[in-house]
Chains A and B, each alone.
Chain A
Amino acid sequence: MGNFDLSRPDFTERSPNSWWDFSRTPEWSNLDLDGIDTGIDLKYRFTRNVFARGAYRYVKYDDGDPYLYDLTGRNNLLYFSLGYLF
């Protein structure tokens, strides 16, 4: 999408006559955000009561059109644990 037009047709024609710079006034404010949150979680039982568990999680966030500052980030998470059921 492009810039919009202000309602008064002579707006931009008139503004250069002053010292004010209105050239960036009519702009578009965009959001372009992508997010992925994916993972795998596995559990293996050695016995009826004892098991091991491992998990991986990947979180991705893309701020495609940063405004004040960039929120793009990645988070790689790993989990490993030993468990006992009683």
Chain B
Amino acid sequence: MKNILIAAIGIALLAVPAVAQIPDTNFEAPDPEASTTGNLQAGVWNSDISGNPEIVAPYSPADKTGALLLFTLKSHPTWGKVDAGVQWLDEDYSRSFLNLDIGRTLLTRTTYRRFTPRLGHDPLTYAEAVTAHDRILRHTDTDPDKVYGLEDGILEHRSELQLGAATVGFNFRDQRRKGAHQTLIISHCDNCHVNSLTRPIDETQQDIGLDAKVAWTKGFLEGSYTKRTLREDVTSIDFLYDRALHPASKLPIFDNRVQFDSLNGPLPVDVRQDTDKDIVKVNVQQAAGAFSLTGNGVWSNTENLYTNNKADYKGYFFSAARPFAGKKARVRFRGRYYETDTGDYFFDTVEREGVAGPHAGKTYRDVYGIEVDYLRQSSLNRKVWDLNADVSLKLGRKAGSLTGSWTFKDVNREFYEVASGETTTTTNILGLLWRPRPARGLRFNVGYRHAWVDNPYAVVGGACSDQVTDGPLASPFDPRAAPYYTMRDARIMDTTALAGSWDEVKLRGSYSKNRTLLTALYRYWDGTNTSGNLTDWERTNQTATVTFAWMPAPTWDGFVSYNYQRLENSAPGCIAIFDG
């Protein structure tokens, strides 16, 4: 999990500049009055990778040389407008768009993007261990040289028919992902055998929607319906689990400890389900006196076609804003409420009987007397309030403006406990933002926010068992040794990656003069968590970006950018082996 977290953070740190700095098509046409203008570029590019490409080239082709093609076209024929473009760097990395305006009545926008998300390949080298009793943790990578990743293609289209005060729209989105990812399957229980398999991915997600909007002088009302489908062409792969053996004797007599093993033959693993979703949205906006009012509602229903389990979502939003003090100040309030409800799922455990020894003819339930069937209830079921209020005040031409803000979020879960007996997480954030403009061409933003969280999301008892066997015992399989499930129940650490309090400082400045522009941004974030049992950790994240753009002569222009990210985190953790 930590590796996934690292990869996600790394991609988040670098993905935005990675996309932004590929040469773009933002050139001015030489003659904006011309009826047709455009830009054509052709050239080459080269990427030289050292080390791991997962973070430094998360979506783009790398370590190769290729051709690049950039093309944009804007035209204003008598019947409307045409706006089109292509950016092509590789057969798996391109973007294109086509926008049409026909008689200001029919507007269409179509975009298509291709990119290649890289997925990690865990070498599992850490999954090798043995205890004094010959208990073994081992791994098998069935495809050790495989490079995991996806070919991702997204087509989006919107057609809009404008009929006076009314607008009718048709929306279509098609996303296809094809490739493979790494699947880890564990066999037990004579040893923990982690198997790494290549799992093909071939999925299609489509959105088809209609919307309508009616506008009047001081407001509008719009509604939409979207049907979303997710289909998997490869729904699972087959895997033959190891035979269940007694950990000490290595004899096949541990049948009642597992629900399935090699006796069941190859079984489907990493099952990815088809899903349907219906989404209805209503949005209304109205000016009332000095107030500007906005409200909307979203209702959706999602069904897993494999289990027929369903999830309902209801969400509502309201906002109001008005100026005061002669429009030198503004107060704004935004509130959001939503609730989700996912049905329960009964897990009917396969109960096999033991075949030898004292367990012969007995199930695990018979031997230990514990309930092994259970009802799985959704940790996502919750009611959430998200409220924001801010007040802005204009201080003057050079002093700029000052904004104070307050954010309140209350997440009330139906089942999931984030602390002992607590299902609710409450977050408060206070912020102050000052935006002075001390001189011509010089601007600053200075912001500070402080947050405190009651019961941040955590997995209670997620790690670090303090179950201690009275001893000394010659073997953990001594009848006096504690069973695995009691060791699991004795875990004492509440694991969490969310801060109980954090502070953020944001500084932004820009200076422009003649044909030069300098912008700089610095962000410092520091969060801690001391609220749970053994959760004491601190995380610091710093970001600095400097961009200098200039045009020293009519024939020259360019820019230099520098982006620096640093993240430090220290958190306690346990590596749990054989704890059930």
Q: Residues of A within 8 Å of B, CB-based: how many?
A: 66
Tell me, in angstroms, the Cα distance from A60 to B560 when the chains sit together: 16
Check A18/B472 contact, CB under 8 A, given A4-B534, A30-B569: yes
Tell me, in angstroms, the Cα distance from A71 to B120 when the chains sit together: 9
Q: Would you call B144 an interface residue if the criterion is a C-beta within 8 Å of the partner chain's C-beta atoms?
A: no
Find out whether the CB atom of A72 lies under 8 angstroms from the CB atom of B10. Answer: no
Of B38-46, B306-314, B383-391, which binds chain A?
A: B38-46
- Which residues from chain B contact A78 at a C-beta distance below 8 Å? 45-46
Q: Which residue of A lies closest to B569 (CB)?
A: A31
Contact of A83 among B27, B46, B464 (CB under 8 A): B27
Tell me, in angstroms, the Cα distance from A30 to B6 when the chains sit together: 10
- Which residues from chain B contact A80 at a C-beta distance below 8 Å? 43-45
Find out whether the CB atom of A59 lies under 8 angstroms from the CB atom of B132. Answer: no
Find out whether the CB atom of B55 lies under 8 angstroms from the CB atom of A85. Answer: no
- Which residues from chain B contact A36 at a C-beta distance below 8 Å? 562-565
Find out whether the CB atom of A44 lies under 8 angstroms from the CB atom of B567. Answer: no
Find out whether the CB atom of B48 lies under 8 angstroms from the CB atom of A55. Answer: no
Q: Which residue of A lies closest to B574 (CB)?
A: A25
Check A31/B539 contact, CB under 8 A, given A39-B21, A43-B558, A63-B6: yes
Find out whether the CB atom of A79 lies under 8 angstroms from the CB atom of B45. Answer: yes
Q: Which residue of B lies closest to A31 (CB)?
A: B569
Q: Which residue of B lies closest to A66 (CB)?
A: B6
Contact of B570 among A15, A21, A30 (CB under 8 A): A30
Find out whether the CB atom of A69 lies under 8 angstroms from the CB atom of B123. Answer: yes
A-B residue pairs, 4 tightest by C-beta: A81-B43, A29-B573, A31-B569, A73-B51
Q: Would you call B555 an interface residue if the criterion is a C-beta within 8 Å of the partner chain's C-beta atoms?
A: yes
Tell me, in angstroms, the Cα distance from A49 to B22 when the chains sit together: 22
Find out whether the CB atom of A6 lies under 8 angstroms from the CB atom of B21. Answer: no
Tell me, in angstroms, the Cα distance from A53 to B5 when the chains sit together: 38
- Cβ contacts A60-82/B at 8 Å (1 or 0 each): 11010001111111111111111
Find out whether the CB atom of A71 lies under 8 angstroms from the CB atom of B574. Answer: no
Q: Would you call B320 an interface residue if the criterion is a C-beta within 8 Å of the partner chain's C-beta atoms?
A: no
Q: Which residue of B lies closest to A3 (CB)?
A: B572
Q: Would you call B54 an interface residue if the criterion is a C-beta within 8 Å of the partner chain's C-beta atoms?
A: yes
Q: Would you call B14 an interface residue if the criterion is a C-beta within 8 Å of the partner chain's C-beta atoms?
A: yes
Q: Would you call B421 an interface residue if the criterion is a C-beta within 8 Å of the partner chain's C-beta atoms?
A: no
Q: Would you call B270 an interface residue if the criterion is a C-beta within 8 Å of the partner chain's C-beta atoms?
A: no
Contact of B565 among A20, A28, A33, A84 (CB under 8 A): A33
Most buried by B among A1, A25, A31, A85: A31
Check A75/B123 contact, CB under 8 A, given A39-B561, A85-B38: no
Find out whether the CB atom of A60 lies under 8 angstroms from the CB atom of B575. Answer: no
Find out whether the CB atom of A34 lies under 8 angstroms from the CB atom of B566. Answer: yes
* Shortest beta-carbon distance from A83 to chain B in Å: 4
Contact of B469 among A18, A38, A69, A85 (CB under 8 A): A18
- Which residues from chain B contact A42 at a C-beta distance below 8 Å? 556-558
Contact of A57 among B21, B70, B492, B539 (CB under 8 A): B21
Contact of A14 among B22, B125, B468 (CB under 8 A): B468
Find out whether the CB atom of B30 lies under 8 angstroms from the CB atom of A75. Answer: no
Q: In the complex, which residues 543-564 of chain B have their Cβ closer than 8 Å to any Cβ of chain A?
A: 554-564
Known: A21-B132, A71-B6, A85-B38. 5 other contacts (CB 8 A): A19-B131, A37-B565, A61-B10, A68-B2, A81-B43
A/B pair count, beta carbons within 8 Å:
249
Q: Which residue of B lies closest to A68 (CB)?
A: B3
- Which residues from chain A contact B558 at a C-beta distance below 8 Å? 40-43
**Chain B, interface residues (CB within 8 Å), range:** 35 or more
Tell me, in angstroms, the Cα distance from A14 to B475 when the chains sit together: 16
Contact of A76 among B27, B48, B474 (CB under 8 A): B48
* Shortest beta-carbon distance from A71 to chain B in Å: 5
Contact of A75 among B53, B68, B563, B574 (CB under 8 A): B53
Q: Would you call B128 an interface residue if the criterion is a C-beta within 8 Å of the partner chain's C-beta atoms?
A: no
Find out whether the CB atom of A31 lies under 8 angstroms from the CB atom of B568. Answer: yes
Residues of chain B touching chain A, judged by Cβ–Cβ distance below 8 Å, are: 2-3, 5-7, 9-10, 13-14, 17-18, 21-23, 27, 29-30, 36-57, 62, 68, 70, 120, 122-123, 125-126, 131-133, 464, 466, 468-469, 471-476, 492, 533-534, 536, 538-539, 554-575
* Shortest beta-carbon distance from B477 to chain A in Å: 11
**14 A-B residue pairs with CB within 8 Å:** A4-B534, A18-B476, A19-B132, A25-B574, A33-B6, A35-B14, A45-B555, A55-B21, A61-B55, A67-B2, A67-B6, A70-B51, A75-B57, A77-B48
Check A20/B556 contact, CB under 8 A, given A57-B21, A67-B6: no
Tell me, in angstroms, the Cα distance from A37 to B451 when the chains sit together: 30
Tell me, in angstroms, the Cα distance from A72 to B6 when the chains sit together: 11
- Which residues from chain A contact B554 at a C-beta distance below 8 Å? 45
Tell me, in angstroms, the Cα distance from A53 to B559 when the chains sit together: 12
Find out whether the CB atom of A35 lies under 8 angstroms from the CB atom of B10. Answer: yes
Q: In the complex, which residues 1-29 of chain A have their Cβ closer than 8 Å to any Cβ of chain B?
A: 1, 3-4, 6-8, 11, 14-15, 17-21, 24-29
Tell me, in angstroms, the Cα distance from A30 to B208 when the chains sit together: 45
Contact of A67 among B3, B9, B52, B565 (CB under 8 A): B3
Q: Which residue of A lies closest to B68 (CB)?
A: A81
Q: Which residue of A lies closest to B566 (CB)?
A: A34
Find out whether the CB atom of A38 lies under 8 angstroms from the CB atom of B562. Answer: yes
Tell me, in angstroms, the Cα distance from A84 to B70 when the chains sit together: 10
Find out whether the CB atom of B466 lies under 8 angstroms from the CB atom of A8. Answer: yes
Tell me, in angstroms, the Cα distance from A86 to B73 when the chains sit together: 9
Check A43/B13 contact, CB under 8 A, given A37-B18, A60-B56: no
- Which residues from chain B contact A40 at a C-beta distance below 8 Å? 558-561
Find out whether the CB atom of B3 lies under 8 angstroms from the CB atom of A44. Answer: no
Q: Which residue of A lies closest to B567 (CB)?
A: A33
Find out whether the CB atom of B38 lies under 8 angstroms from the CB atom of A86. Answer: yes
- Which residues from chain A contact B42 at a C-beta distance below 8 Å? 81-83
- Which residues from chain A contact B539 at a C-beta distance below 8 Å? 31
Tell me, in angstroms, the Cα distance from A32 to B542 when the chains sit together: 12
- Which residues from chain A contact B574 at a C-beta distance below 8 Å? 25-27
* Shortest beta-carbon distance from A16 to chain B in Å: 9
Contact of B53 among A67, A68, A73, A83 (CB under 8 A): A73
* Shortest beta-carbon distance from B288 to chain A in Å: 47
Q: Which residue of B lies closest to A36 (CB)?
A: B564
